[in-house]
Amino acid sequence: MSVRVVLADDQTLVRSGFRLILESVGDITVVGEAADGRQALDLVTDLQPDVVLMDIQMPDLDGLEATRRIGLLGDRLATRVLVLTTFERDDYVFEALRAGASGFLLKNCPPEDLLRAVRLVARGDALLDPAVTRRIIEDYVTRPAPAERHPQTLDRLTERELDVLRLLARGRSNSELAAQLYVSEGTIKTHVSSILAKLGLRDRVQAVVFAYDHGVVRPTC
């Protein structure tokens, strides 16, 4: 089944380049292009694509606000947002993750990384590279301690689930989690699914943000 993608970037050449790469394979189809966030939001509402490649800095309505509004549509559609970034503004990346983006992608990434990212996000996984995890940690180091360090929702988690969440927030993959906790990857997947359900989170990205926002883990330089 083909992955349906909307490209949102104010630069025509960028969109054309991404389209060329994505449509060079048989399982991805670009169903629409948007030059700003408002157009992207309209296309998402009308076409309900699987994935939106969303640039942040666009005219009229920026990608951050468009991502937030897509998130507000909730259960009405299953579209996931993959943020395009150059890392020039880390704060945009962090806010996009909080707004509901399922991951990020560097604009100058190799074609194979672009294809992998789109497929990964389309099937419901989150794309959070360890480099971005480190940047999130570095960002939180400079912030005041969270006002609510242990929200009541954390009481829903078992001790083992808390262990998984803490390691997850450090950017560990399922295989790394399994090795560190001496369990199978299948068990880790079950724990992660349970954590997301109990905390009302959509994916691993939101779990990382939640963990730092609520003091589940302490940032270290």
What CATH number does residue 189 fall under?
1.10.10.10
Q: Are residues 77 and 153 in the same domain?
A: no
Q: Are residues 14 and 66 in the same domain?
A: yes
Q: Are residues 32 and 96 in the same domain?
A: yes
> Residue 3: what pLDDT?
96
Structure tokens at 78: 């299953």
Q: Are residues 36 and 69 in the same domain?
A: yes
> Residue 43: what pLDDT?
96
Q: Are residues 89 and 20 in the same domain?
A: yes
CA distance 173 to 53: 23
Is 133 contained in some domain? no
Is 103 contained in some domain? yes
Q: Are residues 77 and 154 in the same domain?
A: no
Q: Are residues 121 and 40 in the same domain?
A: yes
The CA-based angle 6-7-12, given to 5 degrees, is: 145
We report the CATH number of the domain holding residue 93 as 3.40.50.2300
Q: Are residues 85 and 181 in the same domain?
A: no
> Residue 121: what pLDDT?
86
Structural domain containing residue 26: 3-127
Q: Are residues 105 and 180 in the same domain?
A: no
> Residue 220: what pLDDT?
56
Q: Are residues 22 and 113 in the same domain?
A: yes
Is 83 contained in some domain? yes
* pTM for the model: 0.72
Is 206 contained in some domain? yes
Q: State how many domains the chain has.
A: 2
Residue 158: partners with Cβ closer than 8 Å, 6 or more residues away = none
Per-residue pLDDT tens digits of the chain, which is 221 residues long: 799 999 999 999 999 999 999 999 999 999 999 999 999 999 999 999 999 999 988 988 999 899 989 988 766 678 999 988 776 556 666 777 778 888 888 888 899 989 988 998 888 776 666 566 566 656 655 666 555 555 678 889 999 999 999 988 877 778 888 999 999 989 998 999 999 999 988 778 778 878 877 888 876 54
